[in-house]
Each structure stands twice: as structure tokens, then as C-alpha cells.
Structure 1
Amino acid sequence: MSKQKTKNVQHKHDYVFGKKNYIVMAIGIAVIALGFILMAGGGSDDPNVFNPAIYGFRRIRLAPTIVLIGFGIEVYAILLNPNKAKKE
């Protein structure tokens, strides 16, 4: 009887993106979340009372700009070539 040798085969997982891509994506998601957090608020508890804070600079200009920057970071993360940085 012959014994079959079992080889330790390690399967290499091929991910779509590299580690650097995922790090940049996480940064982009954090920036988008920050933009939405800045956009929140400005409402009123009483529906008969108008709160003009909803039209402030932070909610109309700053927060949407930060969200768009976050989306730009996401596009960059997707287009980033993880193999370019590796030197083999």
C-alpha cells in the first residue's frame, strides 16, 4: 500500500482591489458620512415655526461640497492601480 502525501495547498485569493484601494475607499466613505452629518439638523420641533438655519452656509454650501469630494475620493479609489505601487 502506498501512502499518498497530502500537500499543504494554500489558495491565493484574488481580490478585485488591493489593500490600498480599500483604505482609500474607507477614507472616502468617512468623508461622505461627514458631509451628511454636516447636512443634518436645522429643523424645528414645531411645524408652525420656520427655522432659517436650514439655509445656512454649512448645509447649503459646505456639506454638499464635502459629499462631492468624498465621491471623488471613491472614484479615485476605484481607478487606483494597486499593482503600480508594488515592486516585485
Structure 2
Amino acid sequence: MGEKKNKEGFKPDFVFERKNYMFMLIGIAFIALGFILMTGGGSDDPNVFNPEIYSWRRIRLAPALVLIGFAIEVYAILLKPDTKDQN
């Protein structure tokens, strides 16, 4: 089960195709970029407060990129494979 017969013999059916993996890599890139943008903003001295930790980039942009990346991952998993080679 799960195998198609062609001229060379049996070919296994894979769950994901190239298109799925491309969207997965794009989603991982969004997630990684979001986490990279969240870093920094701390202070070397624990007695000194650095307000840069509450910047727009860390509070709004980075979490939005991470959520977009997760949405792309869900889309990549649910993307239907092409059905042009079914015999």
C-alpha cells in the first residue's frame, strides 16, 4: 500500500511534495526572524532599567512575524498535493 508502480518498479508515495517543503522553509524563516528581532534590549547592569526592551520591534513586529510563520507552517501542512499523476 502507498506505492505506485511505474516503469522502474515501485515508487513510494510521500506525504509532502516540494511545494510543501518550500512553504515550510519560508515559515521557519519567518519564525526565526521573529525570534531574532525579539532578542536584545536588556541591560548589563541589573540596577539600571533600559526602556528599549519595550520597543515597537520587540512588542509588535517580532511576535507578529512569529505568528505569521506559524500560520505559514499550518498552510504548508494542509496544502494538498498535486493530483496530476494518478492512474
TM-score when normalising by structure 1: 0.81
The structure, 1 or 2, with the larger RCO (C-alpha pairs under 8 Å, 6+ apart) is 1
Which amino acid is 1:77 matched to? A
Q: Deviations over 1:1-59 (max 9, x none)?
A: xxxxxxxx644232211111011001000010000000111011111111110001000
What secondary structure sits across from 2:11 in the alignment? coil
Corresponding residue for 2:81?
82
**Identical pairs, percent:** 72
Residue of structure 2 equivalent to 1:34: 33
CA distance in 2 between counterparts of 1:44 and 1:13 reads: 54
Q: Give the match for residue 12 of structure 1.
A: 11
- 1:26 match: secondary structure: helix
1:68 counterpart residue number:
67
**Unmatched 5+ stretches in structure 1:** 1-8
> Greater CA radius of gyration, 1 or 2?
1
In the TM superposition, structure 1's runs of 4+ consecutive aligned residues that sit over 6 Å from their partners are none
Query: What are structure 2's unaligned runs of at least 5 residues?
Result: 1-7
Q: TM-score with structure 2 length normalisation? A: 0.81
**Alpha-carbon distance between aligned partners in 2 of 1:16 and 1:71, rounded to the nearest angstrom:** 20
Q: In structure 2, what is the equivalent of residue 25 of structure 1?
A: 24
Aligned-residue RMSD, C-alpha: 1.4
Once the two structures are superposed, residues 54-73 of structure 1 have per-residue CA deviations (whole angstroms, 9 ceiling, x without a partner) of 00100000100010000110
The reply on whether 1:50 has 2:33 as its aligned counterpart is: no
